[in-house]
């Protein structure tokens, strides 16, 4: 396992980290030596649980890395509740306050993982400006505002080149499209385009990398047996596991030569052609 290179704590904000993939990414980053600011919208109890588990992992990592009695524990005066941050990312004002709130509480921040996402079904027959706007704000606009804020923060503190990174969670379905979840897909397609544009605009301070999972976690729309069956639909015979998605995020954050690209972690699902979204197959 690689650990951060300097003795100063490296801090990552993970959005939507109360549950599911965001939570697992937060725990994976804690295991890799990062301090994690846990963002949530409505899942406060779950976010606190994530922060407590990150805290326990970080304490163990620090204890192993820092000789006892040196007084270097950077989180000594904080408690897990100091690491959770609430914001509705559909609200631009709330989103703009998020990264400054993390900096005010935790100090310098080096990474944002845009994992939170709105995933509500619509299609060409039910499409509306209102639904599109909600997906756009939550999934695209918020990710861009947080990237902008990270860059401003890095510029203000004279950060080194490539010291900071934005991870944008994308989706294999952008390369294997179907007409379901129209607004979600459009919002993620715009984020995939923004991934390139932001990498150009925010270099050299901030790297920008997309991570696109395949079917990894089930949803309320899929029974367990159906999920297991769909998970095998890929050239490699299985889609991505949570561990594989998390390790890809950690890898992208540690490899300072990667920017402006997307790592697909999906067992090759993007090479196939599905007529419907998994949840509607």
Ligand X SMILES: NC(=O)c1ccc[n+]([C@@H]2O[C@H](COP(=O)([O-])OP(=O)(O)OC[C@H]3O[C@@H](n4cnc5c(N)ncnc54)[C@H](OP(=O)(O)O)[C@@H]3O)[C@@H](O)[C@H]2O)c1
Task: Point out which residues bind ligand X (CB under 6 A).
Answer: 16, 18-22, 40-43, 88-90, 115-119, 138, 169, 171, 213, 215-217
* Residue closer to ligand X, measured from CB, 35 or 41: 41
CA dist 183 and 105 (Å) reads 35
Nearest distance from residue 91's CB to ligand X, in Å? 8
Nearest distance from residue 266's CB to ligand X, in Å? 8
Nearest distance from residue 270's CB to ligand X, in Å? 11
CA dist 263 and 270 (Å) reads 12
* Residue closer to ligand X, measured from CB, 34 or 181: 181
* Residue closer to ligand X, measured from CB, 59 or 219: 219
Burial class (CB in 10 A: 0-12, 13-18, 19+), 27: buried
- For 60-116, give the secondary structure using H, E and C: HHHHHHCCCCCCCCCCCCCCHHHHEEECCCCCHHHHHHHHHHHHHHHCCCCEEEECC
Nearest distance from residue 221's CB to ligand X, in Å? 11
DSSP 178-220: -SSSHHHHHHHHHHHHHHHHHHHHHTTTEEEEEEEE-S-S--T
Q: How far is CA 249 from CA 27, 180, 187, 190, 252, in A?
A: 12, 27, 21, 20, 5
Nearest distance from residue 15's CB to ligand X, in Å? 6
Parallel, antiparallel or unpaired: strands 206-213 and 164-169: parallel
* Residue closer to ligand X, measured from CB, 24 or 163: 24
Q: Which tokens belong to 147?
A: 């990237």
Nearest distance from residue 22's CB to ligand X, in Å? 5
* Residue closer to ligand X, measured from CB, 30 or 117: 117
Omega cis (within 30) before 45: no
* Residue closer to ligand X, measured from CB, 154 or 265: 265
């Amino acid at each position: 396992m690689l650990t951060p290179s300097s003795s100063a704590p490296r801090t990552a904000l993970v959005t939507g980290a109360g549950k599911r993939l965001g939570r697992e990414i937060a725990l994976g980053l804690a295991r890799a030596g990062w301090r994690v600011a846990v963002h949530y919208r409505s899942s406060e109890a779950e976010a606190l649980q994530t922060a407590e588990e990150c805290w326990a992992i970080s304490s163990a990592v620090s204890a192993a890395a820092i000789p006892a009695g040196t007084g270097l524990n950077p989180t000594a005066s904080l408690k897990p509740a100091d690491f959770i941050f609430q914001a509705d990312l559909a609200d631009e004002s709330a989103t703009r306050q998020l990264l400054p709130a993390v900096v005010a509480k935790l100090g310098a921040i080096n990474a944002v993982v845009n994992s939170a996402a709105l995933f509500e079904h619509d299609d060409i027959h039910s499409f509306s400006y209102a639904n599109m706007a909600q997906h756009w704000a939550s999934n695209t606009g918020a990710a861009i505002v947080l990237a902008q804020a990270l860059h401003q923060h890095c510029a203000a503190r004279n950060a080194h080149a490539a010291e900071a990174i934005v991870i944008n969670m994308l989706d294999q379905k952008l390369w294997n499209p179907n007409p379901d979840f129209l607004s979600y897909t459009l919002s993620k397609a715009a984020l995939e385009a923004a991934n390139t544009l932001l990498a150009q605009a925010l270099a050299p301070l901030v790297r920008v990398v997309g991570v696109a999972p395949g079917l990894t976690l089930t949803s309320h729309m899929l029974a367990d047996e159906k999920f297991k069956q769909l998970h095998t639909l890929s050239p490699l015979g299985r889609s991505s596991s949570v561990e594989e998605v998390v390790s890809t995020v950690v890898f992208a954050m540690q490899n300072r030569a990667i920017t402006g690209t997307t790592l697909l972690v999906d067992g090759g699902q993007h090479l196939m052609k599905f007529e419907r979204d998994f949840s509607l197959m």
